[in-house]
Amino acid sequence: MRGFAMPFKESSSMHAEWAAAKKQFSGKITAFSQLFKSRHYKTPDDLFFTIEDLPPMGKEYWFLYFCTPHSDEQVILTLGRSSDPVKVNGTVVSSSDVKGGVPCAGVCWYHSKGKKKVVFDSHAGVSLGGVKGAPHSISAKNRENGFSISGKYPSYDVKLDVGGKRVFSAKAKPMHGGKPYEMVHMLKTPIAPRLGAWMINYYFDFSGELEGKKLEGKAYLQKVVAAIPLTPWNWIRLEFQSGAALDVFAAKPLGETGGVKFAANAYFEHKGERFPLKGLTLESWLSGDKRIWVLSGKNVLAVMESYGVQPFVMKQKTTFRYDEYIVRAKAFAVRAGSRELALGDLGEARGIVEEASGYLL
């Protein structure tokens, strides 16, 4: 019967296999523990501008997101790696495939002049330093394409070259009001004291150029180093012309039917004050860049229209799918304390919706 097992007697060979498996797993847990006990990130730059010695099953990634709330231009760059080989969008990331840096999966895409453009979607060699005169820098190269971020908190320069030509440049600078950054040690609990993740989230204003067009908007920079499995989630971030923002992260470790439909850490930020949002659900219709998203709760309603999507399929022994949708807000209403605000009060909004499914151990 399902859920029950008949007793059996272990043979000497089976006992040896179990002992070897137990020893291997114990070693991995010890490696996780050493990673997080040995790291004392005194400043956000100490975490962002570093390449870790990952333990077995360790993961590390950088996420850089640039959004103009009043127009469709958006730029997204993701660099990631795992201690174990991972196939990302059909390409196996291997140390033998990349020269001049630590091998990572690199995906960079942007929306400009009414079109989605993918700069690279394969290997990238990532290295520290390399930007002359910069206190800190990280560079990624993929054949004739290159990316770099350099500087010192709270000011950074970002450059993206395609075929030797500069297509995007930006200067990230402190924003007016709101929280400048969050440095989080996740999952540091008695239940799993040796597993966890460090994360830094920066929130900036930026100015720059994309394919010759001057831009101003919001930048979100993130670095994560983790020793945990990747499980399903949704993340939504909307940036409004007025400077307000909506941010919703929902971890769904048991999937959509695991008993928790939408457990979220969510807030609406207005004039430097954050208002928590509870009891949220997220629904969608259609697919691809026609997908419509509706976020609803007691104090918020957001209707978002997709106009671009970039898929990621990651495979080890399991498969993990992660899709990035760029969206426009078509309708919005929120109750923030005693204030009731609609899209007309906040200005146009653009943003991103992430949807992740499956598992990556």
The whole-chain average pLDDT of the chain stands at 83
pTM: predicted TM-score of the whole model, two decimal places: 0.86
- What is the arithmetic mean of pLDDT over 72-84? 92
- For the cut 90, the answer to whether the pLDDT of residue 188 exceeds it is no
Establish if 72 belongs to a structural domain: yes
Residue that terminates a domain, selected from 186, 208, 228: 228
- What is the arithmetic mean of pLDDT over 88-109? 76
pLDDT tens for 250-281 read: 887 776 654 445 556 899 999 999 999 998 99
* pLDDT band (50, 70, 90) for residue 97: low
Of 151, 177, 163, 187, nearest in space to 43 by CA: 151
Query: What integer pLDDT is reported at residue 215 of this predicted model?
Result: 96
Task: Based on the fold, state whether residues 158 and 305 are members of the same structural domain.
Answer: no
Give 253-257 contacts, CB < 8 A, sequence gap 24+.
Answer: 255/357, 256/232
Residue 169 sits in a domain of what CATH number?
A: 2.40.370.10
pLDDT tens for 157-175 read: 999 999 989 999 999 999 8
Query: What integer pLDDT is reported at residue 323 of this predicted model?
Result: 95
Establish if 320 belongs to a structural domain: yes
Do β-strands 213-227 and 233-240 pair in parallel, antiparallel, or remain unpaired?
unpaired
Establish if 174 belongs to a structural domain: yes
Structure tokens at 326: 């760029």
Task: Based on the fold, state whether residues 235 and 357 are members of the same structural domain.
Answer: yes
CA distance 324 to 219: 16
Query: What integer pLDDT is reported at residue 43 of this predicted model?
Result: 86
CA distance 276 to 268: 7
Least confident of 39-43, 145-149, 166-170, 248-252: 39-43
Task: Based on the fold, state whether residues 180 and 262 are members of the same structural domain.
Answer: no
Residue that terminates a domain, selected from 213, 228, 243: 228
* pLDDT band (50, 70, 90) for residue 14: very low
Domain that holds residue 242: 229-361
* pLDDT band (50, 70, 90) for residue 187: low
Task: Based on the fold, state whether residues 222 and 248 are members of the same structural domain.
Answer: no
CA distance 185 to 189: 10
Establish if 17 belongs to a structural domain: no
Q: How many structural domains compose the chain?
A: 2
Task: Based on the fold, state whether residues 29 and 166 are members of the same structural domain.
Answer: yes
Query: What integer pLDDT is reported at residue 98 of this predicted model?
Result: 56
Task: Based on the fold, state whether residues 165 and 271 are members of the same structural domain.
Answer: no
Task: Based on the fold, state whether residues 209 and 286 are members of the same structural domain.
Answer: no
Establish if 276 belongs to a structural domain: yes
Percentage of the chain beyond pLDDT 90 is 53
Task: Based on the fold, state whether residues 213 and 147 are members of the same structural domain.
Answer: yes
Task: Based on the fold, state whether residues 203 and 286 are members of the same structural domain.
Answer: no
